[in-house]
Amino acid sequence: NVIKVFGIAKKWKKLNRWFSKLWWKYFKEAKTFETK
Q: What ranges do the domains of the chain cover?
A: 1-35
| Rounded Cα gap, residues 35 and 30, in angstroms | 9
DSSP 23: H
Query: How do residues 1-36 score in pLDDT, each as one tens digit?
Result: 788 989 999 999 999 999 999 999 888 888 776 665
The number of angstroms, rounded, from the C-alpha of 8 to the middle of its chain's C-alpha atoms is 15
Give the pLDDT score at 16.
Answer: 92
Give the pLDDT score at 1.
Answer: 77
Give the pLDDT score at 14.
Answer: 93
Backbone angles phi, psi at 8, to 5 degrees: -65, -40
Give the pLDDT score at 10.
Answer: 92
Give the pLDDT score at 17.
Answer: 93
Give the type of residue at 27: F
The number of angstroms, rounded, from the C-alpha of 6 to the middle of its chain's C-alpha atoms is 19
